[in-house]
Structure 1
Amino acid sequence: MGSDQDLVNQLVSKLSTAFKIRDLGEPGFFLGIETVKCNDEILLSQQRYMNDILKCAGTAKCKELSTPIFTSKTVVSNTTLYDDPTQYRSLAGALQYLTITRLDLSFAVNQLCQHMHAPTVSHWDQLKRVLRYVKGTVTFDL
């Protein structure tokens, strides 16, 4: 796929001399990423993947937020360990994959992933905040 079809054809021709290649046509939905053609552009969307994450977390009908992290300087920190670290790790990892098309989540998700070894109740609250932000921005694409 590219803007110059002649260059694309040359590249495919060169690759086919070294590898077995077959044309699968226009990309659609692959590895959780959907490609949507709009005029001469292609949008990359993980909307379906985002909805799956929200359903898995039980937050599909949660209240939306406009920011993924707290904007005030006072964040209450709780040192009590979260009782289901496997759930935390699973959702944080799912959010990490989401940053492929949602660069606005990169900082917040990076913060969450730094605590996978021993997530606290405060970290869980931060993760839920990111999920509420995702709920409000589910239509954002790259």
Structure 2
Amino acid sequence: MSIAKSISSPMAHTTKLTKEGSNYFEHPTLYKSIVGALQYATVTRPDIAYSVNKVCQFLSTPLEEHWSSVKRILRYLIGTQTHGILLQPVSPKSPLALTSFYYANWASDCDDRKSTSGAYLFIGNNLITWWSKKQNTISRSSIEAEYRSLALISQEFQWV
């Protein structure tokens, strides 16, 4: 991977990972080890949270297709080594603003039809918390998936 070319995004927009498809990856321990390291990297790299969440769903039986997605994330990280979280001081005279952004990807999992939610929460210009996870229940519409994401970020707001 040290001579691999960088890539502009951690996962292609059209990628749909499933439990079935290509051959099983012959080194599942290597897959688990690298995906675990990528989970650790999401602490300072929220831009890969969604992609890492997707590849983590196949730790028990990784396929060649899943391994290709992991390698794409690594290629993205090679080209974005200077990216990360920048914390900026907030003026004591300005009001403290809480801002959030959330999203829902309706029925994004081809295997169980559950939606994926994600959110970012800022104090001022500083990102303080973020997540991307599969919803616990199956939503019947995209708006229901959005409401579930909104409920989750509202809980996060209350906690902060």
Q: TM-score range by the shorter chain?
A: 0.5 to 0.7
Q: How many residues align?
A: 84
The answer to whether the aligner puts 1:95 opposite 2:38 as a matched pair is yes
The answer to whether the aligner puts 1:127 opposite 2:70 as a matched pair is yes
Q: Which has the larger radius of gyration?
A: 1
> Does structure 1 retain, via aligned residues, the 8 Å contact 2:35–2:70?
yes
Which segment drifts farther, 73-82 or 125-134? 73-82
Identical pairs, percent = 37
Cα distance per residue 1:50-100 (max 9 Å; x no partner): xxxxxxxxx122110000001236789733100000000000000000000
* Aligned partner (choices 2, 9, 13) of residue 71 of structure 1: 13
- Counting only pairs closer than 5 Å after superposition, residues 11-22 of structure 1 correspond to structure 2 as none
What is the rounded CA distance, in whole Å, between the counterparts of 1:90 and 1:73 in structure 2? 22
- Counting only pairs closer than 5 Å after superposition, residues 29-108 of structure 1 correspond to structure 2 as 59-72=1-14, 78-108=21-51
What is the rounded CA distance, in whole Å, between the counterparts of 2:50 and 2:41 in structure 1? 12
Q: Which has the higher strand share?
A: 2
> Does structure 1 retain, via aligned residues, the 8 Å contact 2:7–2:76?
yes
Cα distance per residue 1:89-129 (max 9 Å; x no partner): 00000000000000000000010111000000000000000
TM-score by length of 2: 0.49
- Secondary structure in 1 matching 2:3: coil
Residue 141 of structure 1: CA displacement?
1.9
CA pair 73-97 structure 1, distance change in 2 beyond 3 A = closer
Q: Name structure 2 gaps, 5 residues minimum.
A: 86-160
Q: Name structure 1 gaps, 5 residues minimum.
A: 1-58
Larger RCO (CA under 8 A, 6+ residues apart): 1
TM-score by length of 1: 0.55
